[in-house]
Amino acid sequence: MSFIIFVLSTLNADSIVDIINNDPTSTWVAVEYHPSIMSREKMKRRLGAYLPPRPSHKLVPRNDLPENFDSREQWPGLILGVRDQGDCGSCWAFAITSCAGDRLGVQGRGVGDLSPQDLVSCDTDDYGCGGSSLDPAWQWMFTDGVTTEQCIPYVSGSGRVPVCPAKCKDGSKIQRYRPSKWLYLQDSQMQDEIIQRGPIQVAFTVYDDFRTYKSGVYIHKTGAQGGGHAVLCLGWGVEDGTPYWLCQNSWGAEWGDQGYFKILRGDNHCGIESYAYTGHFTYPRSV
C-alpha cells in the first residue's frame, strides 16, 4: 500500500511540475524533490499555523522605500541561517524564534539561535507539533520568554514532543528572553518594520504546488489547499517585473532556493499580508 501511495504521489508531483514549468506565464520554477526532502505527506505534517479568516485587500505601493531590500545584506553576519523543523507542525515556533533571534542580533544583543523546542514543549497555550495560533504564541513569549537553542536543543523533528525541561541540557539554569512588546502588523507596516528593525514573522495558506518550488516568484497555480504555514520574511524586491516578498522557510536548505523563497507581494497572495507579526526588543528583558 505504501508503494502505491508513493507512486501516486510521484505521478501527481510530475503533473504539478509540468503544469508550472510548461506555463509561459509562470513566474517560478518547480522541481520534483526526492521524498526524503519533500513530499505531500511531509508538507502536510509541517503545516502548523492556524490562520483565522481575515479581510483581504491589496497593498498600496510606496515610492519612499528602496525597490529591493534584503536583511542579510543590510546586517551581514547577523541574520541567522535556515533551519529544518522536520516532521513536526512547529513552523510557528521556528518563525517566531527566528524573528526574535535575528532582531536581537540586529540590535547587537544576539545570543545565536533561540529555541523552538522551548515553545513546542513548554508553551501550554499551543499544541506543539500539532500547531498553534500565532497570537497566543507571541503572547506566551512576551509573558514567559524563550531560551537559546544551546540550552534546549530541538528534538521534535520526528514528531515527538518531550515534557518541558526544568534545566538546560548542560544542567544550568534556564534563561529566557522576552520582547518588550509584540505586534500584529497591518500590511502597510510590514516594510517599515523590516527595514528599521529586521525580519518579521508572516504566515500564509499553502497549496500543493508550493512544495515543488525551486526558484522565482511563487504564485499559486494548481493543487489542493494544505494548511497554514508560518515563515520568516527578510525583505522584498522585484524580479522580471513581479514584486515579491523574500522569505526564509524552515524546511532545510535542500528545499527551494537554499531554503529561501519569493512570493508575490502586494496582492495578499495566499494571505501572506494578513498574518504578519513581530516583537520589539527595545531593552534587555530576560527571565
Q: Is the pTM of this model over 0.95?
A: no
Is the confidence at residue 159, as pLDDT, over 90?
A: yes
Assess whether 249 carries a catalytic annotation.
yes
Which of 151, 249, 268, 269 is the catalytic position?
A: 249
Cell triple for 269: 497572495
Domain count of the fold of the chain: 1
- Could you tell me if residue 112 is inside a domain? yes
Asked if the structure places residue 285 within a domain, the reply is no
Domain carrying residue 65: 2-280
3-state secondary structure of 79: coil
What would you report as the CA-atom Rg of the chain, rounded to the nearest whole angstrom?
A: 18
**Does residue 94 fall inside a structural domain?**
yes
- Report how far residue 261's alpha carbon sits from residue 255's, in angstroms, rounded to the nearest whole number: 9
Catalytic: 91? yes
Mean of pLDDT values over 263-284:
91
| 165-207 per-position pLDDT tens digit | 999 999 999 999 999 999 999 999 999 999 999 999 999 999 9
CATH number at residue 15: 3.90.70.10
Q: Residue 188 falls within a domain, yes or no? A: yes
Averaged over 119-128, what is the pLDDT?
A: 95
Does the structure show a pLDDT above 60 at 134?
A: yes
Residue 205 in domain: yes
Other C-beta atoms within 10 Å of 242: how many?
16
Is residue 170 included in any domain, yes or no?
yes
**What is the average per-residue pLDDT within 234-253?**
98
Question: Cell 515563515 maps to which residue?
Answer: 231
pLDDT value of position 9: 46
Q: State the catalytic residue, choosing from 122, 151, 229, 269.
A: 229
Q: 112-130 burial, b if ≥16 CB within 10 A, otherwise e?
A: ebbbbbbbbbbbeebbbbe
